[in-house]
Structure 1
Amino acid sequence: MASLPTAGPSTRSASRMVRRFRRNFSAMLGLTLFVLLILLAVLGPLFTVDPLAQELVNKLKPPSAQHWLGTDQLGRDVWSRVVHGAAISLRVGFLVVALSALVGVVVGLLAGSLGGAVDNLLMRFTDIFFAFPSLILAMAIAAALGPNLNNTILAVAAVSWPVYARLVRAQALALREREFVEAAKALGSRTLRVLWRHILPNSLTPVLVQASFDMGGAILTAAGLSFVGFGAQPPTPEWGAMVSEARNYIDVAFWASVSPAVAIILTVLAFNLLGDALRDVLDPRGRD
């Protein structure tokens, strides 16, 4: 009688990682906050009014059954603006991470795999970006491009990619000396094939962890740029812009600025917790 097939090493490893993730309180808290954020962005607009609609007769009204988070200085519903701002912030975070990871991974792979003059040139170019404070450089780029949300995404991505380049370069330097890479080269595989089939897949773990952290960081940086006027412009319901618009009324209507600020805090917390959890779960030295 034939024996039943048993789970392979990859299946057992995946099951082990899932168990470790589920046992991690911070991981489950971060995942819960993340799921709630997604639901807020996707389903929340069904329970809101027009976030741009102004009712000056209802300005600075406190939270009530009609306006769950009150109204701002122009009579706009704060709850509606916070909900629509969730989709904007998620878009900013995902696009920034996608752009910066794409550029950083390509630069890191080329530098670490080719070495020599190519490595030296690419790393010196990367060092130029590390020489400036990231927020100041993002402000300068956003100011040069013009204050709007799309330019904010480009500005934040422009200061975020060097981290990925350094991470992937370090992985590529270690992997290019491994036996399976040497074997692929000995069998006649071209450089691009070796990069794509062997080095890149084995370099993705630190990239995934860094991306989870950078999601929160990108949202926070974009909100900061909007707060100082270099990001999303009124009346866009972006959280940083909302805090900036309502800050002058915090003594009489704190809910107008506190609500988007709390949304920023919870969102950044969710991604930081997920990043910590992924780092622990994907650490090969971890134990059940």
Structure 2
Amino acid sequence: MTTTLERVPKRSENVSLRRLRRNSGAMLGFVLLLFLLVAALIGPLFLGSPGAQDLAVRLSPPSAAHWLGTDQLGRDVLTRVLNGARISLSLGVGVMLASLVSGSLIGLLAGLLGGWWDEVLMRVTDVFLAFPSLILAMAISAALGPSLTNVMIAVALVSWPTYARLIRAQVLALREREFVEAARALGSSQGRVALRHLLPNSLAPLLVQGSFDVGSAILTAAGLGFIGFGAQPPTPEWGAMVSETRNYISQAPWASSAPAVAILLTVLAFNLIGDGLRDVFDPRGR
């Protein structure tokens, strides 16, 4: 009997992996993400400093010496884009993890404890959801001051309510199930029930939401950088790079289009992965 019960999750995991491999969109997303990761990790090792200036070649078009051209200060655009990939990917993953952990903890407490805990925590969540996320992130960034660290804090503060709502809904659906009642009958504490039974069975929607939110965090951070609330020059952050070169778009379109395309491809990669994971985990889509 034990052997049969142990085989079911393994068989289910194998089926899910096969479905994911058959999803062409998800595979394209993984390929794009792998390419970006390799370029971000290895590329800067073979290139110069992203802040190195050479005014003699300012606004030069793409060439053998500068594959993506140079900007208004003669800095190599490819070098800055690849260094910016490290910043943007680290920021997106960091914001997603911070939002996931904090939002899941709040949603778990609200769904598990219920009563006034649920009311207070969900009303606080509603306050954050009442504001447009970009406007709220701008306000928080303006209050904290323009910097990359403050951007991460601001975007994380506007992203956690989604996870809180999601995990609360999962907990409310699961807490009366037979396996949870059996765990309580065996003397398991609330914390053990939450960590061993409720949270592991709620991971699928969290993974899907997390995949979408990495791209969303990168896009929001780039938007804040573009309007001056995010990373400040000469930091090679993609949004700040587009902002710096926007006045030269007719003269040197490559300087602003390269970081813009990098943002597009990164957000697209995470959205494709999120779509693939959603198709795998959603039983209605099967």
Shorter-chain TM-score: what band? over 0.9
- Over the matched positions of the two proteins, sequence identity in percent amounts to 67
Which piece of structure 1 moves more, 186-195 or 136-145?
A: 186-195
SS at match of 1:8: helix
Which residue number corresponds to residue 33 of structure 1? 32
Per the TM alignment, residue 12 of structure 1 is displaced from its structure 2 partner at its CA by 1.8
Tell me if 1:254 matches 2:256: no
Which residue number corresponds to residue 22 of structure 1? 21
2: CA distance, partners of 1:266 / 1:254: 18
1: CA distance, partners of 2:198 / 2:21: 30
Tell me if 1:96 matches 2:105: no
Which residue number corresponds to residue 139 of structure 1? 138
Which residue number corresponds to residue 279 of structure 1? 278
Matches within 5 A, 1:100-139: 100-139=99-138
Matches within 5 A, 1:33-182: 33-182=32-181
SS at match of 2:228: coil
Structure 2: tracts of 5 or more residues without a match = none
Matches within 5 A, 1:234-249: 234-249=233-248
2: CA distance, partners of 1:190 / 1:44: 50
Per-residue deviation, residues 208-264 of structure 1 (Å, max 9, x unmatched): 000000000000000000000000000000000000000000000000000000000
Which amino acid is 2:68 matched to?
Answer: L
2: CA distance, partners of 1:61 / 1:183: 70
Per the TM alignment, residue 57 of structure 1 is displaced from its structure 2 partner at its CA by 1.1
Per-residue deviation, residues 60-108 of structure 1 (Å, max 9, x unmatched): 0000000000000000000000000000001100110011001100000
2: CA distance, partners of 1:20 / 1:173: 28
Which amino acid is 2:260 matched to?
Answer: A
1: CA distance, partners of 2:246 / 2:166: 39
Per the TM alignment, residue 8 of structure 1 is displaced from its structure 2 partner at its CA by 2.0
Per the TM alignment, residue 156 of structure 1 is displaced from its structure 2 partner at its CA by 0.2
2: CA distance, partners of 1:206 / 1:14: 15
Which piece of structure 1 moves more, 161-170 or 184-193?
A: 184-193
2: CA distance, partners of 1:18 / 1:10: 12
Which residue number corresponds to residue 197 of structure 1? 196
Per the TM alignment, residue 285 of structure 1 is displaced from its structure 2 partner at its CA by 4.2
2: CA distance, partners of 1:70 / 1:155: 33
The structure in which a higher percent of residues are helix is 2
Per the TM alignment, residue 284 of structure 1 is displaced from its structure 2 partner at its CA by 3.1
Per the TM alignment, residue 46 of structure 1 is displaced from its structure 2 partner at its CA by 2.2
Which piece of structure 1 moves more, 269-278 or 15-24?
A: 15-24
Per the TM alignment, residue 17 of structure 1 is displaced from its structure 2 partner at its CA by 1.3
Per-residue deviation, residues 188-219 of structure 1 (Å, max 9, x unmatched): 11111111111111111111000000000000
Output the TM-score relative to the length of structure 2. Answer: 0.97
Per the TM alignment, residue 184 of structure 1 is displaced from its structure 2 partner at its CA by 1.2
Per the TM alignment, residue 178 of structure 1 is displaced from its structure 2 partner at its CA by 0.6
Which amino acid is 1:245 matched to?
Answer: E
Q: Number of aligned residue pairs: give it.
A: 282
Structure 1: tracts of 5 or more residues without a match = none
Give the root-mean-square deviation of aligned CA atoms.
1.2
1: CA distance, partners of 2:208 / 2:171: 17
1: CA distance, partners of 2:41 / 2:24: 26
2: CA distance, partners of 1:18 / 1:198: 23
Per-residue deviation, residues 85-135 of structure 1 (Å, max 9, x unmatched): 000001100110011001100000000011111000000000000110000
SS at match of 1:269: helix
1: CA distance, partners of 2:188 / 2:20: 37
Which amino acid is 2:145 matched to?
Answer: G
2: CA distance, partners of 1:283 / 1:159: 26
2: CA distance, partners of 1:157 / 1:210: 14
